[in-house]
């Protein structure tokens, strides 16, 4: 049996809870046949203590099911994650050591307003003050590598400057330090991403960007439960995830599935935000629930987490994004701005920076 054949077997083993296999995530360090013994070394970084055992068992079973393999020697190396508590003394992990809290914004479904919410939450937080009266220091990492929308939404332009040998300075907009693939590549040059490349890029966003001292680093994710979500949970010490959904009952299952993935990798769900909840008749104050009702509350109930707020649908939200001036900056009194600011405030309560 060839070494290649072992890889083919490893490709049938999915990372627990995901539909992606161990090989495509780049976890395999060694896969060799010695006589009739298969020797495999895998490397992962996770705080979940049970994960190495689960993976080891599944890999062993898959290998031993092959007639040509009599013995399977499977070793799992666990890398330390780059959390500030156990950071190494090198420059790379120092870049995250001043970051107090890391919060991801996620959804199972596309187009529900994750990026809009990430950008507005970041700007709303940047307008808040800490106990000493200084503005909160905020960063925003755009992990949507295929469709980076953060730079347009927050009006960030220009290339991140190279600092030192291979570290980048984030681009600042409305006081928010931003990094995005959109700031690094031309719109016309589409990139075909493979699992390991996504992992590597997100690693670089985390470790090769000079974030400095931050009270909160927000992370905008692409929709779904794919490579970016798993990579992120592997690389960054996430403090929690905010799940965005829409009012439709049909959105509940997708949101729940998306959130479960984070539970599996031990990232707490901080709460659910329902976006595009209603159209407000500003004269009468009446709420028109044009997309139905209950999606957010039902999702929060199902996930046993707080329901953080309902953001109304408002033209100024979209216009703010189109013009690169987030609505919480363009018009803090807009009803959607007020709701998003309230969500930001709740997040500071759930995860105090001090």
Ligand X SMILES: Nc1ncnc2c1ncn2[C@@H]1O[C@H](COP(=O)(O)OP(=O)(O)OP(=O)(O)O)[C@@H](O)[C@H]1O
Q: How far apart are CA 138 and CA 101, in angstroms?
A: 10
Question: Which of 81, 93, 95, 115 contacts ligand X by CB under 6 A?
Answer: 115
Q: Does 111 bind ligand X (CB under 6 A)?
A: yes
User: Which residue from 108, 223, 296, 326 is in contact with ligand X, where contact means CB under 6 A?
Assistant: 223
For Mg ion, give the closer residue by CB, 148 or 170: 148
Q: Which of 144, 215, 239, 310 binds ligand X (CB under 6 A)?
A: 144
Reduce the DSSP state of residue 178 to 3 states and report it: strand
Residue 149, interface with ligand X (CB under 6 A)?
yes
Task: Enumerate binding residues for Mg ion (CB under 5 A).
Answer: 114-115
Q: Which residues pair with 273 in a beta bridge?
A: 244, 309
Residue 242's closest CA among 274, 276, 277? 274
String of b and e for 258-293 (b: at least 16 CB within 10 Å)? bbebbebbebebbbbbbbbbbbbeeeeeeeeeebeb
**Interaction of residue 321 with ligand X, rule CB under 6 A:** yes
**Of 55, 106, 214, 311, the one binding ligand X by CB under 6 A:** 311
Asked if 233 contacts 103 with a C-beta cutoff of 8 angstroms, the reply is: no
- Per CB under 6 A, 225 contacts ligand X: no
Query: What CA–CA distance (Å, rounded) separates 295 from 235?
Result: 31
CB of 150 to Mg ion, least distance (A): 8
- Residue 212 near which of Mg ion, ligand X, none (CB within 5-8 Å, type-dependent): none
| Alpha-carbon gap, residue 349 to 242, rounded angstroms | 14
- In the stretch 151-190, what mask flags binding to ligand X with x, by CB under 6 A? ----------------------------------------
- Could you tell me which stretch among 113-121, 195-203, 282-290, 343-351 binds ligand X (CB under 6 A)? 113-121
318: partner contacted, choices ligand X, Mg ion, none (Cβ within 5-8 A by kind): ligand X
Query: Which residue of the chain is nearest Mg ion when measured via CB?
Result: 115
Buried b (16+ CB within 10 A) or exposed e, 192-228: ebebeebbebbbbbbbbbbbeebbbbbbbbbbbbbbb
Question: By the 8 A CB rule, do 46 and 38 touch?
Answer: no
Whole-Å CA distances, 280 to 210, 255, 273, 285, 291 = 41, 25, 17, 6, 13
- Of 95, 116, 167, 178, the residue at the interface with ligand X (CB under 6 A) is 116
Q: Which is nearer to ligand X, 196 or 224 (CB)?
A: 224
Contact characters 38-67, ligand X, x per CB under 6 A: ------------------------------
Which residues bind to ligand X, rule: CB under 6 A? 107, 110-116, 144, 147, 149, 222-223, 275-276, 311, 313-314, 317-318, 321, 336
């Amino acid at each position: 049996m060839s070494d290649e054949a072992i890889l083919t077997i490893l490709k049938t083993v999915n990372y627990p809870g995901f539909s992606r296999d161990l090989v495509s995530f780049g976890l395999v360090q060694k896969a060799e046949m010695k006589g009739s013994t298969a020797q495999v070394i895998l490397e992962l970084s996770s705080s979940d203590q049970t994960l190495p055992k689960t993976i080891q068992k599944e890999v062993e079973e898959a290998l031993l099911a092959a007639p040509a393999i009599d013995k399977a020697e499977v070793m799992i190396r666990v890398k330390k994650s780059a959390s500030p508590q156990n950071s190494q003394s090198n420059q790379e992990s120092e870049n995250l050591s001043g970051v107090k809290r890391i919060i991801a914004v996620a959804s199972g479904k596309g187009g529900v307003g994750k990026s809009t919410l990430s950008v507005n939450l970041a700007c709303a937080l940047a307008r808040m003050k800490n106990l000493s009266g200084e503005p909160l220091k905020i960063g925003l990492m755009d992990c949507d590598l295929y469709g980076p929308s953060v730079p347009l939404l927050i009006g960030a332009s220009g290339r991140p400057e190279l600092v030192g040998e291979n570290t980048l300075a984030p681009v600042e907009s409305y006081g928010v330090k931003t990094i995005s693939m959109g700031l690094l590549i031309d719109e016309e040059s589409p990139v075909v991403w493979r699992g390991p490349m996504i992992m590597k890029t997100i690693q670089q966003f985390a470790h090769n960007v000079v974030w400095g001292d931050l009270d909160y680093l927000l992370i905008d994710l692409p929709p779904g439960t794919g490579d970016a979500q798993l990579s992120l949970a592997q690389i960054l010490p996430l403090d929690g995830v905010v799940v965005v959904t829409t009012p439709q009952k049909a959105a509940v299952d997708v949101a729940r599935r998306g959130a479960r993935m984070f539970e599996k990798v031990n990232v707490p769900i901080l709460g659910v935000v329902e976006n595009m909840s209603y159209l407000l008749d500003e004269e009468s104050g009446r709420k028109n629930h044009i997309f139905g009702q209950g999606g957010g509350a039902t999702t929060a109930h199902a996930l046993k987490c707080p329901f953080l707020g309902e953001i109304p649908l408002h033209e100024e939200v979209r216009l703010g994004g189109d013009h690169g001036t987030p609505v919480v900056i363009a018009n803090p009194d807009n009803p959607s701005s007020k709701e998003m600011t309230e969500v930001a405030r709740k997040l500071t309560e759930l995860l105090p920076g001090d």
